[in-house]
Chain A
Amino acid sequence: MLTIKNINKQYKGEAVLQGLSFTLRAHEMLSILGRSGSGKTTLLKVLAGLETADSGQLLLDGQDLSPVPANQRGVVYLYQEALLFPHLNVFENIAFGLRLRRRPETEIKEKVNGLLQRLELPGQARKMPEQLSGGQRQRVAFGRALIIEPRVLLLDEPFGALDAETRRSMQQLLKRVAKDFGLTAIFVTHDLKEAMLMGDRLGMMQNGQLKIYGNRAEFIADESTGALDEARFWTDLQGLKLTK
């Protein structure tokens, strides 16, 4: 379980994170909706250990994360771009984390081949990143993160650069993979529908402040999330069609 207590962060005197507190349960995916500049990425970077909070406490399964460097946290941060290593093929990209840990070759082969199947990438192992489509690249990026069995996975708008159709299939794939692997994850996005689709719980980030909703209905009822506006838009559109 990840517990965040009163996290604050400033950049050049401007508050980017203001008193953030929430809890992420094990095997749960928390969706955080927020516009650009709302502090979503900073929050994820603080959790990953890539940025330092000015104050507050981060606890993962009771362990204080603050003094733990990024490479020992077991918290993987995935970017909008797949960021595959251009000099490595698909197999080696996925195997990367295990190679860092100097795992035996048989274990690496077994795990990578298993992931290639589960991520629907059969026959792609020897391809180089530039030979893959956007969706395939993102699958490889998931594989590279999942293979080290992260304690928490942080996803920073991972489907932002994909076309609508690929995005839909990737959302379904991630939901399935998250369930299969029992992932504990935070998924940030600026897309309302994506946030609602991906999250077991939902949060909204505005001006460095985070509000976590008790349930889906609470999230929808809050005007600031834009869910009611979206619903009204579709109702009105339906009404227009009917009157025509």
Chain B
Amino acid sequence: MSRFTKIALIGLILFPFAFLLMLSLGKQWPYPAIFPEQWSLSNWQLVLGGSEGLGNSVLVSVLLSLSVATLSTSLSFWVSRHIAYHPKREAWLSLAYFPYVFAPVILAACLQFFFIVAGLYGTFGGVLVAQLFITFPYGVIFFSSFWNERLRSMEELVKTLGGSTAQAYAKVLVPVAKGALMTCFFQLFLISWFEYGLTNLIGVGKVPTLTLRVFQYVSEANIFLAALASCLLILPPVALLWLNRAVVFREG
């Protein structure tokens, strides 16, 4: 690859990020100016000052996505193992595709009644449970190809060597699956992080994730705050991507 192509490619990848950062620092941008007429840190000061509630949205989003990714990854890892070795594996696995038959919003509409009855409507816990309906089956499908006869034999070997099921998980299965677990966690974090339909419908605006804030600013035509929220939206996934790359690819 030539130096020019490399620079062009890097520029192409970085352009949207640089553009969003530029917009977040702008104040007025009348047509046909190429750049905003005023530059200011006031939008960022708003975030740091907490008056726009964006700091709270960052916290809610991080907490929600970390919880969803952690719960779904660990639960789907455990459940997928049982499905993989079950005589009716295919039937169980086909159930995991069920939530994807509908769009997330339709799924949320179907579940809405049950969430109201359970008192989960418009709560953090409700959004968390709603997102699990999408992320958990995804995790099960993700891990379904991970389990095989070799791993099963390893697990049996641990038992004949004197280990319990918990020790088989802690000392062999989890360390062997570390790369897959990290990748699944990362993907589920992203699904949760950028989730809009379910979060909006079940959260009814009371669980203000960053993704919801971006859509809110866009619908208000507040491009500067929308850009700022987008910048914040990108940072955690980028950090996680770097971490994922550093751990998984170094081991690979």
Which A residues lie at the B interface, using CB under 8 A?
Answer: 48-50, 69-77, 79, 81, 83, 85-87, 96-97, 99-101, 144-145, 148
Is the pair B160, A70 in contact by a Cβ cutoff of 8 Å?
Answer: yes
Is the pair B163, A100 in contact by a Cβ cutoff of 8 Å?
Answer: yes
Is the pair B176, A77 in contact by a Cβ cutoff of 8 Å?
Answer: no
Is B161 close to A, CB under 8 A? yes
CB-CB under 8 A from B161, the residues of chain A are 71, 76, 96-97, 100, 144-145, 148
Q: Which B residue sits closest to A88, measured CB to CB?
A: B175
In the docked arrangement, what's the CA distance between A86 and B158, Å?
Answer: 14
Is B89 close to A, CB under 8 A? no
In the complex, how many residues of chain B place their beta carbon closer than 8 angstroms to a beta carbon of chain A?
18
Picked from B160, B172, B178, the residue with its CB within 8 Å of the CB of A85 is: B172
Which B residues lie at the A interface, using CB under 8 A?
Answer: 150, 153-154, 156-164, 167, 171-172, 175-176, 178
In the docked arrangement, what's the CA distance between A87 and B171, Å?
Answer: 10
Is the pair A100, B153 in contact by a Cβ cutoff of 8 Å?
Answer: no
Q: Which A residue sits closest to B156, measured CB to CB?
A: A50
If A85-B172, A85-B176, A87-B176 touch, whether A101 touches B162 (CB-CB below 8 Å) is yes
In addition to A50-B160, A76-B160, A85-B175, 12 A-B residue pairs with Cβ atoms within 8 Å of each other are: A48-B156, A70-B160, A71-B164, A77-B157, A81-B150, A87-B175, A96-B161, A97-B161, A100-B162, A100-B171, A101-B162, A145-B161
A97 CB to closest chain B CB, in angstroms? 5
B252 CB to closest chain A CB, in angstroms? 13
Is the pair B163, A71 in contact by a Cβ cutoff of 8 Å?
Answer: yes
Is the pair A71, B162 in contact by a Cβ cutoff of 8 Å?
Answer: yes
| 26 pairs from A and B in contact (CB 8 Å cutoff) | A49-B160, A50-B160, A70-B160, A71-B159, A71-B161, A71-B162, A72-B162, A77-B156, A77-B157, A81-B150, A83-B153, A85-B171, A86-B176, A87-B175, A87-B176, A87-B178, A97-B162, A99-B171, A100-B158, A100-B162, A100-B163, A100-B167, A101-B162, A144-B161, A148-B161, A148-B162
